[in-house]
Amino acid sequence: MSNSTLNNNRPLILWLYSGCFLVFTMVIIGGITRLTGSGLSITEWNVVTGTLPPMNEAKWQEEFVKYQQIPQFKLLNADFTLSDFKNIYWWEYLHRLIGRLMGFAFIIPFLFFLYKKQISRTLLPKLLFILALGAWQGFLGWYMVKSGLVNNTHVSHYRLAIHLTNAFITFGYIYWVILGLKAKATPINNHVSKSIKTLSLTTFLILIIQIIYGAFVAGTHAGFMYNTWPMMGDKWIAPDVGEVLANNGLISLIDNPLSVQFIHRTVALILLALVLYIWLKRKNPTWNLNSVQIQSTNIVMLFILIQVLLGIFTLLFVVPVWLGVTHQAMAFLIFAAMLFQVYHMYHTQTHKQSNM
């Protein structure tokens, strides 16, 4: 891609970066709503009329009465006053407001670029797919909330995982499109070792599994159990994990909080080992990595080390909101860094840089 082409695409790239930022912000606010127990404070999904918050005391009382009908209030928050309700309401309102803003921030510039004929035929279906992902995310958000309005005090951890995973997919796809628009290199680097390509992609897929289990940990409140490290209490594997597996079978691996926490711990160490291995061998001549690829391994290594420490402290301090949210934010940064790494393993220059 020439510099002139890159310059022509700069408005599109900046617009898509704003989309990545909004998805990131949406997930962070979503994490706060979860950790503060705010996610079920708004019991209806009104796309248009729900844009404005309650504007007077009567409207606040009306919303509070609706909240008082669900199990979370009856079983967990029966002592809530209107003031307590307002505190949790605002986080969920902000979460939904950003979701609406995302829609406008994508659709309006999209129509503008389409009118100006700045969207190529190859880019158009990609942008339409991003639009579909955004709409699907909105539906999944309400589908998740519904699971906590009738029989449960919290949302389904399965639906939470689906909702969070789709947010990562949306973010990742937008970022992948950005990388494609910014690319200055030939499509495939046949000189990069196939082994490192496969290893980087495998590590990225394991990261996705870890993100899903992070959602399971959040949804089952597994982070509030066995707040010790590196062992679970005085055992490497909590006895309950084996007992539940024997009694309930494989479903316990995604359903039982202790099993979910153990797997999340274990996959974190597997990821750390894989990233460390790639980092230690980053200058291996047989891998034939260029400076951009080596830099990507450095960034991923740094992020993983920070994330492991954040995970440990989040567990030891029994999931304070600020640590839990920071841990989730770092997962996004690792996801972006690994995606960047995978992209440049498969799409890069066909020779090593001279400064290698």
232 secondary structure, DSSP code? B
Expressed as residue numbers, the domain containing 327 is 188-356
Q: Do 297 and 215 have their domain in common?
A: yes
Average the pLDDT over 210-238 and give the result. 94
Nearest to 143 by CA among 287, 285, 273, 39: 39
How far is it, in rounded angstroms, from Cα 142 to Cα 39? 10
The number of beta carbons lying within 10 Å of the beta carbon of residue 85 is 20
CB 149 within 8 A of CB 39: no
Q: Do 225 and 321 have their domain in common?
A: yes
Q: Please state which of the ranges 170-179, 187-196, 214-223 shows the lowest mean pLDDT.
A: 187-196
Average the pLDDT over 220-245 and give the result. 92
- Residue 34 is encoded by which pair of tokens? 């979860």
Residue of 351 and 97 predicted with greater confidence: 97
Q: Do 220 and 351 have their domain in common?
A: yes
Residue 93 scores a pLDDT above 70: yes
Residue 183 scores a pLDDT above 80: no
Percent of the chain surpassing pLDDT 90: 82
> Last residue of a domain, which of 149, 184, 219?
184
pLDDT at 185: 46
Q: Do 124 and 172 have their domain in common?
A: yes
Average the pLDDT over 322-348 and give the result. 94
Q: Do 156 and 195 have their domain in common?
A: no
Q: Do 275 and 254 have their domain in common?
A: yes
Task: Identify each DSSP E strand in the chain by its residue range.
Answer: none
Q: Do 102 and 205 have their domain in common?
A: no
pLDDT at 356: 30
Model confidence at 190, pLDDT cuts 50, 70, 90, reads low
50 secondary structure, DSSP code? G
Residue 187 scores a pLDDT above 60: no
pLDDT at 320: 95
The number of beta carbons lying within 10 Å of the beta carbon of residue 81 is 9
- Residue 254 is encoded by which pair of tokens? 């995604």
Model confidence at 197, pLDDT cuts 50, 70, 90, reads very high
Model confidence at 351, pLDDT cuts 50, 70, 90, reads very low
Q: Do 162 and 201 have their domain in common?
A: no
What confidence tens digit (pLDDT) does each residue in 24-73 have? 999 999 999 999 999 999 998 887 767 889 999 999 999 999 999 999 99
Q: Do 221 and 141 have their domain in common?
A: no
- Residue 187 is encoded by which pair of tokens? 């499509």
Residue of 5 and 103 predicted with greater confidence: 103
| Count of domains for the chain | 2
How far is it, in rounded angstroms, from Cα 69 to Cα 151? 11
- Residue 226 is encoded by which pair of tokens? 């066995």
- Residue 179 is encoded by which pair of tokens? 């990388």
Average the pLDDT over 161-179 and give the result. 96
Mean pLDDT of the chain: 91
Average the pLDDT over 216-230 and give the result. 94
Reported pTM? 0.92
Model confidence at 184, pLDDT cuts 50, 70, 90, reads low
- Residue 135 is encoded by which pair of tokens? 């709409």
Q: Do 278 and 152 have their domain in common?
A: no
- Residue 182 is encoded by which pair of tokens? 């910014």
- Provide the residue type at 164 as one letter: L
Q: Do 326 and 242 have their domain in common?
A: yes
- Residue 123 is encoded by which pair of tokens? 């880019």
